[in-house]
Homo-oligomer: A and B are copies of this chain.
Amino acid sequence: MKTIDGGVTAPQGFKAASCAANIKYENREDMALIYSEDVCKVAGTFTRNVVKAAPVIWDRNIVNNNIGVQAIVVNSGIANACTGDEGISMCIKTAQAASSALHIPYEGVLVASTGVIGMQIPMDKIKNGINDMVPKLSYDNDAAHGAAQAIMTTDTIPKEAAVSVEIGGKEVVIGGMSKGSGMIHPNMCTMLAFVSSDVNISEEMLKKALSIVVEDTYNMISVDGDTSTNDTCLLLANGRAGNDIIDSEGPDFDAFTEALFEVNRTLAKMMAGDGEGANALFEVKVVGADNVANAKTLAKSVVTSSLTKAAIYGHDANWGRILCALGYAGVDFDPENVDLYFESKAGKLQIVSKGVSTGYSEEEATKILSEDAVTAICDMHMGDAKATAWGCDLTHEYVSINADYRS
């Protein structure tokens, strides 16, 4: 497996385009289109929020009924959530507009939206946007990059990743893009992610691979504990790589899953590090837990703690808040067995030994915590299970963005 340049157009047969549809933002692109020449198999995971945005309802139906897919239409600015029957009708009309422009069945058009909740989508702008994008569809990396930029809301950087892996003697490529900065919390994806591949794989195995990967990537990131109404991760596979079809578990499935994990972990970490207002990516590794479920729960509890996140912002080795967050996670452990370390490019330092301070140098700790990616390692000394969660620091800028998001 090797990392390659590009995003959703990196695999064979996938095109992308973007445009400025003036849905909410001015002077920037706010619509993206992904198109596959071939009918794709599709897998998807969606928000577990009871309040589901209309596009989530639309897409879930397509994914659950194994309907072949050829296009994804995405807009930023308006989430099309809490929009009632009119919201669903907007999804149908969007799919129909893409269907007309691309000459494909409308049941094969996925739709995704992100932005403000409760406003209706302006259908005329969406239609104009689709008609604008179709002639611009391109295999270029630049087209994928434009699409990754167009789906951003409060994101500050576009998020793309691509890898190439040999499966059964053929080169298989996986490319992806995602967005997500606020309302990011591990409970399914809590963001939008679109991943394409030219792998030849059965529907069942495609869905299985995505489920495995989502659990350890998107479901392990948190910006603010708010699980969005729109969370969607869609994975399309068109089979162009020409590998023998992957229709059961085995080395080929493992190689594909590993490559898929790499793309999605990269996108997930980029989202955490680009959390609203974030100055730093905050990684929490729990090791020595009694089982993986507990390791995940503990890691998520620390990465979600507002007090811990504010301390990371202040470059303050306030380890008591980390022990406190482990303590309220709902997992039983002996505090007097816990070791704690901070690590970054600037070094690694043990802060806590058997539940009490090591008498470490505050100066050295602050130096380690002043990098733009910092890791807390919690060794529970109970077993061999481990998990990693990703989040970010809690900053003044987070409050500014969210006290003022709609205006």
Contact = CB atoms under 8 A, between A and B. Distances in A.
Given A48-B328, A316-B405, A403-B316, A323 B226 contact: no
Oligomer: number of copies? 2
B405 A335 contact: no
Given A307-B183, A307-B226, A118 B328 contact: no
Contacts of A79: 320
A49 interface: yes
A60 to B, nearest CB: 15
Interface string A149-166: 000000000000000000
A304 B225 contact: yes
Is chain A's binding surface mostly helix, strand, loop or mixed? loop
A256 B335 CA distance: 39
Interface in A144-186: 182-183, 185
A306 B406 contact: no
Contact of A407 (B316, B333, B401): B316
A227 B311 CA distance: 16
A79 to B, nearest CB: 7
Interface in A312-347: 313-314, 316, 318-321, 323-329, 331-333, 335-336
B226 A320 contact: no
Nearest to A230: B324
Interface in A38-66: 48-52
B183 A324 contact: yes
Interface in A92-116: 116
A108 to B, nearest CB: 28
A310 B356 CA distance: 35
A326 B50 contact: yes
A400 interface: yes
9 contacts: A50-B335, A52-B327, A82-B319, A116-B320, A118-B356, A225-B225, A226-B324, A226-B325, A229-B323
Given A118-B323, A310-B399, 7 more contacts: A81-B320, A117-B318, A224-B306, A307-B402, A313-B399, A318-B405, A396-B399
